[in-house]
């Protein structure tokens, strides 16, 4: 902000030019400086400029107020664009910008209920704590994704690739995980109540603390090398159609 000060009237040219008497070559420079002194003197008495500066400062304040007052609309517009990306690519392979769109919505705590990203390439997706109730991730590639504490209740994950995914504390209540690849995934404290795991691959997965007592079905599931399985789970799984199949990669 400019500090306004009433300038004193510049000295007359005769007095101002006395310094040039000894060195004549400095006269043009002194004359220019003397001219600017007069200009500054005149402008310092012109209130119109001071008013303009105040108006400029006020306009900045107004812009700041409008910026924050419209932040909600900008957020809505950003969410609309993210949903547009997801819906436009629905049913298609590849990412199509859906990883960023999903993560942005989840970061803003937007429920992703019913989202359809079937067959999408979503490796490394981070949707921890997301609400994915009734979502469709069938045949999606979710390898190495962070899906910690996600709510997959009533979701379709048929044939989804969840290799090495972090699924700790995830809820798979009545979810369809048939034919899903959960090799090497972490399912610590996951809730599998009412879930269908027919023909899924649980080999080398971490099952510590899972809620499995009311699991609907795992007929044909591969439980080779499961880690930290709760007491009684392996025996129950075998009795209900699961098996120790060789690693498909071998």
Q: pLDDT digit string (tens) for 16-54? A: 666 555 666 666 766 777 677 766 766 666 666 566 676
Q: Tokens for 139?
A: 């045949």
Tally of CB atoms within 10 A around 30: 16
Tally of CB atoms within 10 A around 203: 23
The least confident of 101-115, 116-130, 149-163, 234-248 is: 234-248
Could you give the angle at the alpha carbon of 125 between the alpha carbons of 176 and 138, nearest 5°? 25
Cβ(99)–Cβ(130) under 8 Å? no
Instruction: For residue 171, give the DSSP letter.
Output: B
Q: What is the pLDDT of residue 42?
A: 67
Q: How confident is the model at residue 6 (pLDDT cuts 50, 70, 90)?
A: low
- 111: Cβ contacts below 8 Å, ≥ 6 apart: 131, 133
The least confident of 54-58, 101-105, 126-130, 246-250 is: 246-250
Nearest Cα to Cα of residue 159 among 142, 181, 143, 175: 181
Global pTM value: 0.70
Q: What is the pLDDT of residue 92?
A: 80
Average pLDDT over residues 51-61: 70
Cβ(189)–Cβ(210) under 8 Å? yes
Q: How confident is the model at residue 89 (pLDDT cuts 50, 70, 90)?
A: confident
Cβ(30)–Cβ(17) under 8 Å? yes
Coil, strand or helix: which one is 153? coil
As a whole number of Å, the end-to-end CA separation of the chain is 73
Examine the pLDDT at 57 and tell me if it is beyond 50. yes
Average pLDDT over residues 180-193: 98
Indicate the average pLDDT of the chain: 86
The least confident of 33-47, 92-106, 153-167 is: 33-47
- For the chain, the structural domain boundaries read 13-69, 93-250
Nearest Cα to Cα of residue 157 among 123, 190, 125, 198: 198
Tell me if the domain spanning 93-250 has CATH number 1.10.10.10. no
CA 144 – CA 122 distance, rounded (Å): 9
DSSP bridge partners of 206 = 186, 227
């Amino acid at each position: 902000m400019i500090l306004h000060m009433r300038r004193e009237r510049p000295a007359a040219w005769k007095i101002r030019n006395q310094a040039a008497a000894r060195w004549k070559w400095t006269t043009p420079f002194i004359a220019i400086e003397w001219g600017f002194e007069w200009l500054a003197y005149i402008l310092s008495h012109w209130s119109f400029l001071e008013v303009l500066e105040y108006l400029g400062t006020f306009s900045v304040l107004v812009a700041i107020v409008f910026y924050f007052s419209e932040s909600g609309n900008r957020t809505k517009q950003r969410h609309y664009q993210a949903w547009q990306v997801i819906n436009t690519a629905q049913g298609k392979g590849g990412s199509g910008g859906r990883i960023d769109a999903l993560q942005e919505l989840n970061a803003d705590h937007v429920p992703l209920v019913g989202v359809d990203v079937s067959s999408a390439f979503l490796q490394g997706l981070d949707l921890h704590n997301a609400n994915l109730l009734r979502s469709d991730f069938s045949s999606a590639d979710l390898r190495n994704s962070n899906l910690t504490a996600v709510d997959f209740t009533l979701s379709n994950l048929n044939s989804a690739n969840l290799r090495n995914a972090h699924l700790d504390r995830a809820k798979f209540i009545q979810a369809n995980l048939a034919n899903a690849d959960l090799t090497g995934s972490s399912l610590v404290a996951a809730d599998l109540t009412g879930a269908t795991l027919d023909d899924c691959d649980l080999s080398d997965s971490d099952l510590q603390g899972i809620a499995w007592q009311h699991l609907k079905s795992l007929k044909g599931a591969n439980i080779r090398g499961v880690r930290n399985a709760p007491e009684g789970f392996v025996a129950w799984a075998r009795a209900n159609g699961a098996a120790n199949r060789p690693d498909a990669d071998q």
